[in-house]
A = this chain, B = another copy of it.
């Protein structure tokens, strides 16, 4: 668990980054956000990673220098007093700052920090490199894939223990806590990373019955009441009713790398209309999986999935109901839960080998509930390899 990232892994990531920086006429990037910082350096202890388009990157450390040196295989780790020293470090790395282009992660860093950087780099132009970084991180290395595969084993093990904890009268929150505790016993690191601002999903959703069909502030096909209006998504303090659909959508991870899986469960039985719909959904899912091949455009898969849902007559229920439908059917996973690519509207990128997708077809029935499943797939040279060893059955525990 305390594993340190291999030197070669970081070296290759930096090399790929430098090539794109160079192609994009960006002289250097300053990496700050934790997921990105960990990806390129192997540590999240405090600091700024300066990656020039060519030459050695510099980790300007404001955190514990010994710890950073233990965790990061980077060569140039220099203690600094504070952010104001970044300009002179960049100046040394680039020869001069005048007229240079400096990349920053504009999708995540706050305005106040950006303004500080702008004043420090007043002789340079700041450029957004978040798209570059997200594109690089989209393609997983064999090392990353092995960690995601390890992570993908946790959910099936937790689901195997579900009948021990799912009992009439248990609340959504209590069931969620039990399942998370079981995951952490199996080395799950804890609350996950989500890149999008204000999304605040830290484990996933354990929600049931009509409450699951309530849209929330998470951009997802499931919503949930949440514990209170202050956190209006996911598990609530309501007891789970017998004969209602329970959505168990949880992320577990190892060494920062996530798996994101969903299964449907019920106490007693599913409502019969949902039982039938689940069979339809499985057939639809098989057809979507068949499209997960290198070269196929992500948005096309999504559009075709919408078309397929029309053929089943369940189009209004597919991926949410009404004006708040999710506009995707799958998403990349890795260090963050909302990685690229998105198998969704407008994402006109072809699938490529090394991408890892959480495919999550779901059907929402307002006033009744949500059913669905979510599996993780590695795009290989020829097809999609399922990473999570779990069958598609609904778990039904006795009343």
Which A residues are closer than 8 A to B by beta carbons? Answer: 1-5, 32-34, 38, 42-46, 63-64, 67, 71, 104, 106-115, 128, 130, 173-174, 176-178, 180-181, 184-185, 187, 189-191, 193, 197-198, 200, 202-203, 214-217, 223, 225-232, 234-237, 254-257, 324, 335
Contact = CB atoms under 8 A, between A and B. Distances in A.
Contact of A46 (B217, B226, B254, B256): B217
B130 A71 contact: no
Q: Which of A38, A67, A190, A227: most chain B Cβ within 10 A?
A: A190
Contact of A64 (B5, B130, B215, B235): B215
Contact of A237 (B115, B187, B203, B227): B187
Given A2-B228, A33-B198, A190-B234, 13 more contacts: A1-B227, A3-B228, A44-B200, A45-B217, A63-B216, A67-B215, A67-B216, A110-B110, A110-B197, A177-B181, A189-B228, A191-B202, A229-B256
A362 to B, nearest CB: 17
Contact of A44 (B32, B109, B115, B229): B229
A230 B1 contact: no
A104 to B, nearest CB: 7
B111 A232 contact: no
Nearest to A322: B64
Nearest to A106: B111
Contacts of A71: 229, 232
Nearest to A126: B111
B2 A189 contact: no
B232 A44 contact: yes
A205 B278 CA distance: 42
A43 B176 CA distance: 23
7 contacts: A1-B227, A1-B236, A64-B214, A71-B232, A106-B111, A114-B114, A177-B185
Main secondary structure of the interface of A (DSSP, over half): loop
A130 B230 CA distance: 19
A29 B178 CA distance: 42
Contact of A110 (B34, B111, B184): B111
A255 B228 contact: yes
B231 A67 contact: no
A257 B228 CA distance: 11
Nearest to A118: B111
For the complex of A and B, the 5 pairs showing the least CB-CB separation, nearest first, are A230-B256, A189-B227, A106-B111, A191-B202, A64-B215
B230 A44 contact: yes
A110 B106 contact: yes
Contacts of A4: 229
Contact of A181 (B43, B45, B181, B236): B181
A228 B1 CA distance: 5
Contacts of A3: 228-229
A125 B232 CA distance: 33
